Amino acid sequence: MAAPTYVPGHGLLTGRAAVVTAGAGAGIGGATVRRFLEEGARVVIGDAHARRTKEAVAALAAEFGAARVDGVRCDVTDESEVAALFDLAERSHGGLDIVVNNAGLGGTAALTEMTDEEWHRVVDTTLTGTFRCTRAALRRLRATGGQGVVVNNASVLGWRAQAGQAHYAAAKAGVMALTRCAALEAAPHGIRVNAVAPSLALHPHLAKVTSAEVLDELTAREAFGRPAEPWEIANVIVFLASGYSSYMTGETVSVSSRHP
């Protein structure tokens, strides 16, 4: 089944200021940055790749205007770089309305062969990195009077088992639990915290690190018989960041056509 026609922007995020981590690549983060800009938001990109961040900011600034997009290198395992990212958002846009925690790290290793380093590397980026950025977001949103939205990128592997993915699945399940707990703590301040859980969104990096055989097997499990386009996941993130989801918090939305 062919992917649907790309959906144009409708101004759903006009005037909002957003931070998107791991937002300079060709995957879900990059698609989210573009969709946010198309919906009228101002965006600060954080990404662990400094050159890629600079190039992404330059390209998007040429298209959407330099006043609407900025970026800085941000490794979410480094608390000082997380702070610098949020500082830039406040300097560039005078405040903050939306945070998308997209940064994550995968890998494949059988549990009996997995090293402590492999486990900690995935968990520190995917789960603890989301914690660091959520903590920074809630502190700053509360200090400026509350309101605002946090959207975390989880995964269907937080619910479903897949061999070789114990570290990644555990981290993503943790992101779901973190989302629920953060939502309860943030609700009295008018701040919403939700998550998306994609199944298979195909992009160049995934194709580079995953064998064709595995991708074919995963694709065969999808009800539509194809992977999601990254922008299809980004559309749901736009929904969660917008006023259309104003009574949703603590939820993890499956963005998937996958069957058991």
Q: What amino acid positions are annotated as catalytic residues?
A: 168
Q: Which amino acid is at 183?
A: A
Alpha helices in the chain (DSSP H): 28-38, 50-64, 79-93, 116-123, 129-143, 166-186, 204-209, 212-220, 230-241
Phi, psi (5° rounding) for residue 98? -135, 140
Are 74 and 84 contacting, i.e. CB atoms less than 8 angstroms apart? yes
Are 166 and 111 contacting, i.e. CB atoms less than 8 angstroms apart? yes
- CA angle (234 as vertex; 42, 206 as ends), nearest 5: 120
DSSP symbol at 128: I
Euclidean distance between CA atoms 154 and 104, whole angstroms: 9
Quickly count: other Cβ atoms within 10 Å of residue 28's Cβ. Answer: 29
Among 101, 258, 69, 107, CA closest to 178: 101
- At 66 the three-state DSSP class reads helix
Euclidean distance between CA atoms 160 and 154, whole angstroms: 12
